[in-house]
Structure 1
Amino acid sequence: MTKKIVVTGLGAFSPLAPTARGTWEALLRGESGARPLTDQAEKYDIDLPVTFAATVKESPAEHLERVVAKRLDPSSQYALISAREAFADAGLTDEEIDPDRLLVDWATGIGGVWTLLDAWDTLRERGPRRVMPLTVPMLMPNGPAAAIGMELGARAGIHTAVSACASSTESIINAYNHLQAGYADIVIAGGSEAAVHPLPIASFASMQALSRRNDDPAHASRPYDTGRDGFVLGEGAATLVLETEEHALARGARIYAEIAGGGVTADAYHITAPEPTGSGASKALEACLAQSGAAAEDVVHINAHATSTPVGDIAEYNAFKRVFGDRTDSIPVSATKASVGHLLGGAGAIEALFTSLAFHEGVLPPTINLEDKDPEIGLDVVTEAREVDLPSGAMAVSTSFGFGGHNAVLGIRKY
């Protein structure tokens, strides 16, 4: 028997704000989290082709105990901050939690890159005796999930999805499946990334993936615009607390939205480029609808992957047309990476958070910086916060696609 899976807690540590509510409100105001990398310019004597990113709004040192922060890579610091917020937002108490029924499904695209590269610098400059003993636990991709699991005492399982920019959408789909299978009553799901470092920046820039609007970071990410020239690298974390409806209602929890299902496929086409016709992405959409028990006609909103790359935005549009046909251009679409940047392994989680809040509050978030819409893309792009009257059961999809040809689509219903 299929169970209803619901969202009862939200947390975020993002380029717009250090909380989920603050991030949501800044998003609705049309703010941008992109800013110059002044600190890195001072620290590294490197002439980078891209000198800005969507960095977290506040230092994690303002939110974590010093002894805790010292043992965690920034990707784990962001994860723990957002998970603490989501856990508190869900109103969970020790009496309501059986540790053997609490599970973590987390995600990252790259993992502890700062720890890895700082440790390499230490090894070369100061020798092996000065490398921190916790270097490997800090750089592990499963480090953020482990930090959350140990903090909350999650003994039903701690899992990490690593599928590039599709990672945290996949982690939420995994959480849905784990709850359906009866492995847990509550799952802490989401993703984090902290890869705003000269090496990833140089690599992404070398493959022509990043915007080079160094003189205007706030307007650099512009999905669907004719002037789009790449994504803005972002960092941060987002957490969703998922429960079976039965468990949530039994404890009187507030419910934001229902996770209806998900679909995961692969292009098996190219390591970085999407399959141009949208074939693999459309199959993920169809798989999501099938697991959700929904038809294409039921979808009334899309939070698109929409990274602001010339090729990627078109390929995703082609996927939409394969699934939604003549309705494609009438479905309201939000492309929120324009505001928060591309959080890589954390992107799907923060976009699922946005979609859950959109349906909970009846307002679709805006896509900023769209000034000259690409004539090849006929979507109804939401450019200002749009209030909507959504019936119970209305369906949205949140799409994520990653290097390696990973496709993941999450279905979210108004509760």
Structure 2
Amino acid sequence: MKRRVVVTGQGVVSPLGNDVTTFWDNIQKGASGIRRLESEAYADINTKIAGYIDDFPVEKYLEAKEIKRYDLFTQYGFAAAVQALEQSKVNLKALDKDRAGVYIGSGTGGLQTLLKNHETMLEKGTRRVSPFLIPTMINNMAAGLTAIKTGFRGPSFAAVSACATSNHAIGEAYLNIAHGYSDVILAGGAEATITPLYFAGFSKMRAMSTKNDTPEAASRPFDQDRDGFVMSEGAGVLFLEEYEHAKERGAPMLGEIVGYGSTTDAYHITEPDYQGAAKAMELAIERAEAKPEDVDYINAHGTSTPSGDISETKAIKDVFGDQAHRLKVSSTKSMTGHMFGAAGGAEAIVTLNSVRENTFPPTINLENPDPECDLDYVANKAKEGNINIALSNGFGFGGHNAVLAFKKV
């Protein structure tokens, strides 16, 4: 029999705050974390705005001598994991660590470390490349460091599926616990890709917003005037726990994961196919033993790209039919920007808290809706209302789709 899986801890590092309380308060207020990049390194790049973090208190999580050993994405991921553990109030000494895992993924991994060492090699030669280059830059290091620091000896891996990374990590962790292989797993994603190289690449694709004069208004999902996504960074991690295990130790139960759907478009590297996204939502609802009419809210992938928002709207209509216009749908990327591999972790936290507090977070900057995006996107201001089941969508380059279903415990 499938076991129930609850969330007993959550942690976040983001442009809207480096703890869950601050982050969630800013989400409810409709605040924007997008700002202009002042570095001259971006002078020749069309996009000069991002959701960057400049107040990350790394010294709270790592000793001074350790900080330089770990790429920024690893620091973010570990910090979010520590927060989730602290909220869960788990007794690490009493925990069976052979049944405790870590699933923290990253779409890109240690890009900052790679670029720094490449520059060093070009300027000073190969002998000056750090011996820590490889173990610092690889995608699994946020998961690896977290496992080392916690002593968790159960399953550990790093999902890598672009913008669907965190949803895959959380979903696969949910299945692992549900089927009895583990009791607890830290799951989510971390990303630190704000670099001129990444900006140059996405700029050449014409995928990013160029509304440089109005950073706070640049990310505008479902709006007719949207012109691309805004790059962001951070981490989001959940502490997942088997229900009886959590109940026995009196853990705070923040919500329950009841479904997970994962599909692949098998269509195009960058262009979405709405049918794959629709199938992932259908599977999440089916595995939650629910019906489409039981779902009250969807935290959309909603990146603010012209084709992506239309495709996701089509997918929602395909799944929910006449019920689609009853649903509340919002994209919190309008506030956070796109955190790539960490997006699903942060948005799972938004969805979880939306269910707990019966709050529909807003899609800010939605002033002139695209005629092809005609659902209720909770424009500009949060709303109150009962939420029974909520979905969190994550779709990534390569056609990867992963959808999570949450409900109250």
* TM-score, normalized by the shorter chain, greater than 0.5: yes
Q: How far apart are 1:361 and its partner, in Å? A: 1.6
Task: Give the direction of change, closer, same or farther, for the CA distance of 1:99–1:143 in structure 2 (3 Å limit).
Answer: same
Aligned match for 1:149, one of 139, 147, 167: 147
In 2, Cα distance between equivalents of 1:167 and 1:216: 29
Q: Which residue of 2 aligns with 1:95?
A: 93
Any idea what SS the aligned residue of 2:316 has?
helix
Kindly indicate whether the alpha-carbon contact (under 8 Å) linking 1:15 and 1:34 is maintained by their aligned counterparts in 2. Answer: yes
Q: How far apart are 1:37 and its partner, in Å? A: 1.5
1:345-360 matched pairs, under 5 angstroms: 345-360=341-356
Q: How far apart are 1:377 and its partner, in Å? A: 1.5
Q: Which residue of 1 aligns with 2:394?
A: 400
Task: Give the direction of change, closer, same or farther, for the CA distance of 1:47–1:155 in structure 2 (3 Å limit).
Answer: same
Q: How far apart are 1:60 and its partner, in Å? A: 4.5
Q: How far apart are 1:94 and its partner, in Å? A: 2.2
Q: How far apart are 1:296 and its partner, in Å? A: 1.0
The percentage of aligned residue pairs carrying the same residue is: 44
Q: Which residue of 1 aligns with 2:135?
A: 137
Q: Which residue of 2 aligns with 1:388?
A: 385
2:147 partner letter = G
Aligned match for 2:161, one of 160, 163, 175: 163
Q: How far apart are 1:129 and its partner, in Å? A: 2.1
Deviates more, 1:45-54 or 1:371-380: 45-54
In 1, Cα distance between equivalents of 2:121 and 2:181: 42
Count of residue correspondences: 407
In 1, Cα distance between equivalents of 2:389 and 2:18: 28
Deviates more, 1:105-114 or 1:61-70: 61-70
In 2, Cα distance between equivalents of 1:290 and 1:362: 23
TM-score, with length taken from structure 1: 0.96
2:359 aligned with 1:363 = yes
1:109 partner letter = G
In 2, Cα distance between equivalents of 1:182 and 1:48: 50
2:368 aligned with 1:376 = no
In 2, Cα distance between equivalents of 1:89 and 1:321: 37
2:186 partner letter = I
2:79 partner letter = I
2:289 aligned with 1:296 = no
Q: Which residue of 1 aligns with 2:241?
A: 243
Q: Which residue of 2 aligns with 1:50?
A: 47
In 2, Cα distance between equivalents of 1:57 and 1:357: 25
Q: Which residue of 1 aligns with 2:110?
A: 112
Kindly indicate whether the alpha-carbon contact (under 8 Å) linking 1:7 and 1:258 is maintained by their aligned counterparts in 2. Answer: yes
Kindly indicate whether the alpha-carbon contact (under 8 Å) linking 2:2 and 2:179 is maintained by their aligned counterparts in 1. Answer: no
1:396 partner letter = A
2:331 partner letter = A
1:249 partner letter = K
In 2, Cα distance between equivalents of 1:301 and 1:174: 22
Q: How far apart are 1:45 and its partner, in Å? A: 7.2
Q: Which residue of 1 aligns with 2:172?
A: 174
Q: How far apart are 1:46 and its partner, in Å? A: 5.0
1:32-47 matched pairs, under 5 angstroms: 32-38=32-38, 40-41=39-40, 44=41, 46-47=43-44
TM-score, with length taken from structure 2: 0.97
Kindly indicate whether the alpha-carbon contact (under 8 Å) linking 1:18 and 1:57 is maintained by their aligned counterparts in 2. Answer: no
Q: How far apart are 1:65 and its partner, in Å? A: 2.2
2:407 partner letter = R
2:282 aligned with 1:286 = yes
Task: Give the direction of change, closer, same or farther, for the CA distance of 1:131–1:159 in structure 2 (3 Å limit).
Answer: same
Q: Which residue of 1 aligns with 2:228?
A: 230
In 1, Cα distance between equivalents of 2:92 and 2:348: 27
Kindly indicate whether the alpha-carbon contact (under 8 Å) linking 1:260 and 1:412 is maintained by their aligned counterparts in 2. Answer: yes
In 1, Cα distance between equivalents of 2:42 and 2:315: 43
1:132 partner letter = S
Q: How far apart are 1:410 and its partner, in Å? A: 0.6
In 1, Cα distance between equivalents of 2:289 and 2:386: 22
Q: Which whole-Å deviations, capped at 9, do the CAs of 1:151-198 have from their partners, x for residues lacking one? A: 111100211110010010010001111101222111000101000001
Any idea what SS the aligned residue of 1:9 has?
strand
1:65 partner letter = E
Q: How far apart are 1:87 and its partner, in Å? A: 0.6
Kindly indicate whether the alpha-carbon contact (under 8 Å) linking 2:158 and 2:169 is maintained by their aligned counterparts in 1. Answer: yes
Kindly indicate whether the alpha-carbon contact (under 8 Å) linking 1:396 and 1:413 is maintained by their aligned counterparts in 2. Answer: yes
Kindly indicate whether the alpha-carbon contact (under 8 Å) linking 2:3 and 2:179 is maintained by their aligned counterparts in 1. Answer: no
Kindly indicate whether the alpha-carbon contact (under 8 Å) linking 2:165 and 2:341 is maintained by their aligned counterparts in 1. Answer: yes
Q: Which residue of 2 aligns with 1:328?
A: 324
In 2, Cα distance between equivalents of 1:87 and 1:295: 33
Kindly indicate whether the alpha-carbon contact (under 8 Å) linking 1:50 and 1:211 is maintained by their aligned counterparts in 2. Answer: yes
Q: How far apart are 1:57 and its partner, in Å? A: 4.9
Q: How far apart are 1:68 and its partner, in Å? A: 2.2
In 2, Cα distance between equivalents of 1:414 and 1:220: 34
> CA RMSD for the aligned pairs?
1.2
In 2, Cα distance between equivalents of 1:59 and 1:254: 26
